[in-house]
């Protein structure tokens, strides 16, 4: 292949470019990114960067040395508007196009929005984070809609800034669908222990300058409203490509699409194993998929398949939560160190006599040991 286009200049796109070079590819790599910025890291956007304790430079995914050694042809501030496989072309929003023998789709997703919440903040990009940070002036009351990972981290950061925060969550407990009710109760406790007004089982209607209006007609007063209700995979540009899209770009177990010269990785990749489709929205997944997708792209066929580690971390208040594996709600949870009322514990999920997931609050050492020992062959849902 003489030239490979990587569409999406964020974590997955960067990891793909790095892997291409690491696996000996010395042709051209064009990195196309809709955002005008050089690739940057997103996790700090809801944590230290939002709090104002991490500098903008610390977000950069590529240092000067990487930029020189990777020899990337950047096209930043332009969107890929389509994929034209028969002519091996990626048309761009500036009227130009990139001719490429291979394509890595790494377009991630955009923050989901809620109807009626047009004036609210969302948090996906560094520009979103800067806008939210500017609004978090002393004395403002913040309402966060959604107590998932990002909503919880925003609430936590706002509390660290001394702001009054209310979190409005539709589920009976935060993150219950991911962690199950016992660990979800721990997440709820973190909010309450740190002075956040967590309200679960709440249906929101819309927001206005007065705050968030609930479906029962009541008002939750707020000066700043943030919605953290998930993301939507960025696939619109592929509508006429002939590729199968729908909740992401569909691939086989090796992240290869119907076209052997087109692979997808990161938050946008919807890969299939044994007929079941999966998509992950976590940092480690984007990194771990790159070597597999790139190997298959360069081989021109699926020679490797992807096995997810299912690793996720989240920093909330004084706690670091870590999860690995793929537990299901009906798996048996047991506490192997500490208990759910303590500030540090480790729990595992068992299924058919095997450990299928590990969770820790503030115990990275034991978490990592168990993760290595017990999840050598990560189980998949
Ligand atoms: C605020 C925040 C905090 C997070 N914290 C954590 C955490 O603590 N732990 C964790 O495990 N994960 C965390 N994540 C998730 C993690 O950051 C994502 O999984 C990761 O960024 C996915 O990388 P990606 O490259 O697949 O997608 P993205 O990061 O979404 O990047 C996709 C890029 O493609 C660009 N793009 C889209 N369409 C086009 C197009 N048509 N043409 C050109 N460019 C396009 C987009 O502008 C974007 O820059 C967090 C995410 C956010 C937003």
CB-ligand 1 contact for 197 (6 Å cutoff): no
Q: What does R_g of the chain's alpha carbons equal in angstroms? A: 21
Residues 294 and 340 in one domain: no
Q: What pLDDT, on the 0 to 100 scale, is given for residue 376?
A: 59
Q: What pLDDT, on the 0 to 100 scale, is given for residue 160?
A: 98
3-state secondary structure of 205: strand
**Domain presence at residue 163:** yes
Would you say 245 and 225 are in contact if contact means Cβ atoms under 8 Å apart?
A: no
Q: How far is the CA of 68 from the centre of ligand 1 (A)?
A: 24
**Domain of residue 354, CATH code:** 3.30.390.30
Residues 133 and 277 in one domain: no
Q: How far is the CA of 126 from the centre of ligand 1 (A)?
A: 11
**Domain presence at residue 308:** no
For the segment 365-377, what is each residue's pLDDT rounded down to a tens digit? 999 999 988 775 5
CB-ligand 1 contact for 283 (6 Å cutoff): yes
**Domain of residue 265, CATH code:** 3.50.50.60
CA 365 to each of CA 151, 190, 370: distance values in angstroms, whole numbers, following the listed order: 27, 21, 9
**pLDDT-flagged residues of the chain (< 50):** 378-381
CB-ligand 1 contact for 42 (6 Å cutoff): yes
The atom of ligand 1 lying closest to the CA of 124 is: 53
Considering the entire predicted model, what is its pTM? 0.96
**Domain presence at residue 304:** no
Residues 283 and 331 in one domain: no
For the segment 111-132, what is each residue's pLDDT rounded down to a tens digit? 999 999 999 999 999 999 999 9
For the segment 339-348, what is each residue's pLDDT rounded down to a tens digit? 999 999 999 9
Residues 253 and 322 in one domain: no
Of 227, 250, 274, which closes a domain? Answer: 227
90: which residues sit within 8 A by CB, 6+ positions away? 5, 7, 32, 80, 82, 83, 84, 97, 98, 100, 103
**How many structural domains does the chain have?**
3
**Domain presence at residue 312:** no
CB-ligand 1 contact for 106 (6 Å cutoff): yes
Residues 139 and 282 in one domain: no
Ligand 1, atom 2: closest residue by C-alpha: 43
Domain extent at residue 162: 113-227
């Amino acid at each position: 292949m003489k030239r490979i286009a990587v569409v999406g200049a964020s974590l997955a796109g960067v990891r793909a470019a790095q892997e291409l070079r690491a696996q000996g590819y010395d042709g051209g790599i064009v990195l196309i990114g809709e955002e005008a910025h050089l690739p940057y890291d997103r996790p700090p956007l809801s944590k230290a960067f939002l709090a104002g304790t991490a500098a903008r430079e610390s977000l950069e995914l590529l240092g000067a040395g990487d930029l020189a050694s990777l020899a990337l042809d950047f096209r930043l501030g332009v969107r890929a508007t389509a994929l034209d496989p028969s002519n091996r072309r990626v048309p761009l929003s500036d009227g130009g196009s990139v001719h490429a023998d291979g394509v890595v789709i790494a377009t991630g997703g955009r923050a989901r929005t809620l109807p009626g919440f047009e004036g609210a903040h969302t948090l996906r990009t560094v520009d979103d984070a800067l806008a939210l940070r500017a609004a978090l002036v002393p004395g403002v009351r913040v309402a966060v809609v959604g107590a998932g990972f990002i909503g919880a981290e925003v609430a936590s950061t706002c509390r660290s800034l001394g702001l009054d925060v209310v979190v409005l969550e539709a589920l009976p407990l935060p993150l219950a669908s991911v962690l199950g009710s016992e660990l979800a109760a721990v997440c709820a406790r973190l909010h309450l222990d740190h002075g956040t007004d967590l309200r679960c089982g709440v249906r929101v209607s819309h927001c206005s300058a007065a705050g968030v209006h609930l479906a029962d007609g009541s008002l939750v007063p707020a000066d700043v409203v943030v919605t953290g209700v998930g993301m939507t995979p960025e696939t619109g540009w592929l509508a006429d490509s002939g590729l199968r899209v729908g909740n992401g770009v569909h691939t086989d177990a090796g992240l290869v699409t119907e076209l052997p010269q087109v692979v997808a990785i990161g938050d946008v990749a919807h890969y299939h194993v044994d007929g079941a489709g999966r998509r992950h929205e976590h940092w480690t997944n984007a990194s771990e998929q790159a070597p597999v997708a790139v190997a298959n792209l360069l081989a021109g066929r699926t020679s490797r398949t992807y096995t997810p580690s299912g690793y996720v971390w989240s920093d909330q208040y004084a706690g670091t939560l870590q999860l690995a594996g793929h537990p299901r709600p009906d798996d048996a949870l047991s506490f192997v160190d500490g208990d759910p009322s303590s500030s540090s514990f480790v729990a595992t999920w068992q299924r058919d006599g095997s450990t299928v997931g590990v969770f820790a609050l503030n115990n990275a050492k034991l978490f990592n040991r168990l993760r290595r020992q017990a999840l050598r062959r990560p189980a998949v849902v």
